[in-house]
């Protein structure tokens, strides 16, 4: 029954947070952000929920996306994207350059990163199932007049919703999404937000971070990259595209 589950953000910290023991004399901060606040050691730690300023507003009170006031679904993301940006309908502000976006993304990845629930690999294929998995219920539907994807006969872009506290044996209601990184400006997108991740990114030689080197496409020089998830090739093992899969979360 729904009433037997917690229904506010703070319930995670009252009922689900693991016991944290702090060393008040420690010289360095922890990678996962615990114990930065000795009175409330879980504040800002990785693998804890995003705390909301306002109550959740799911259409079913639990997990389903918010709807319009008339009860119909909100416009789809791809439709809004094409309507706003298809004809380059944006303002060019001379006081900003590309660094604004890059720095903004750098800081955003330092303090907030939601992990997608990839327990279902292809959410578009899952739309044909009699019971669509919850994490696959909001795929990106491509409009029939889409200026790009219709050329490739693509009608669906797979999208997995983020993991919730239920993935951590803490089934909060309404759904509470977990932050994968420490929620402080502490360079976690470079150094990691757990002891395991940090160790995997370090060379333990003269304080340097690890890197991978590969022969350039022209085979004329050596290129240096952040360490790869898949150590054998530049491709992600679970990816079908050509993106390089880095261990760091930049």
Print pLDDT tens along the chain (250 aa): 444 444 556 778 777 888 899 999 999 889 999 999 999 899 889 998 877 777 888 899 889 889 999 999 888 888 888 887 776 666 666 777 888 889 999 999 999 988 899 889 899 999 999 899 999 988 988 888 888 888 888 889 999 999 988 888 888 888 888 899 999 999 998 888 999 989 988 999 998 888 888 777 777 778 787 777 654 544 455 544 444 566 655 5
Q: Do residues 125 and 186 share a domain? A: no
Query: pTM score > 0.85 for this model?
Result: no
Task: Please tell me whether residues 88 and 49 are part of one structural domain.
Answer: yes
Q: Do 126 and 152 belong together in one domain?
A: yes
Question: Domain count of the chain?
Answer: 3
Residue 164 contacts residue 178 (beta carbons within 8 Å): yes
Residues 235 and 141 in one domain: no
Identify whether residues 53 and 169 lie together within a single domain.
yes
The answer to whether residues 62 and 166 belong to one domain is: yes
- Residue owning tokens 């705390």: 51
- 37 plus 111 within the same structural domain: yes
Structural domain of residue 226, as residue ranges?
A: 202-249
Number of Cα atoms under 13 Å in the Cβ half of residue 233: 7
180 & 241 share domain: no
pLDDT attached to residue 231 = 47
The pLDDT of residue 25: 93
Predicted local confidence at residue 91, as pLDDT = 65
Could you tell me if 29 and 68 lie in one domain? yes
Q: Which residues are catalytic?
A: 109
């Amino acid at each position: 029954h729904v009433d037997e589950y917690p229904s506010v953000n703070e319930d995670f910290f009252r009922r689900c947070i693991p016991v944290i023991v702090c060393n008040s004399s420690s010289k360095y901060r922890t990678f996962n952000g615990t114990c930065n606040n000795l009175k409330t050691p879980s504040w800002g730690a990785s693998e804890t929920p995003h705390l909301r300023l306002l109550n959740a507003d799911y259409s079913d009170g639990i997990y389903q996306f918010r709807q319009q006031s008339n009860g119909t679904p909100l416009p789809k993301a791809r439709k809004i994207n094409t309507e706003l940006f298809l004809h380059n309908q944006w303002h060019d502000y001379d006081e900003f350059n590309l660094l604004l976006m890059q720095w903004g993304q750098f800081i955003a990845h330092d303090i907030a990163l939601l992990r997608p629930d990839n327990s279902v690999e292809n959410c578009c294929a899952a739309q044909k199932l009699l019971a669509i998995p919850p994490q696959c219920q909001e795929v990106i539907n491509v409009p029939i007049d889409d200026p790009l994807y219709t050329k490739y006969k693509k009608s669906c872009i797979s999208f997995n919703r983020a993991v919730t506290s239920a993935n951590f044996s803490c089934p909060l209601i309404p759904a509470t999404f977990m932050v994968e990184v420490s929620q402080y400006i502490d360079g976690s997108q470079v150094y990691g937000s757990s002891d395991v991740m940090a160790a995997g990114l370090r060379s333990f030689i003269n304080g340097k971070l690890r890197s991978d080197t590969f022969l350039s496409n022209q085979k004329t020089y050596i290129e240096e990259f952040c360490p790869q998830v898949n150590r054998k090739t530049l491709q992600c093992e679970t990816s079908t595209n050509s993106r390089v899969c880095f261990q760091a979360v930049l």
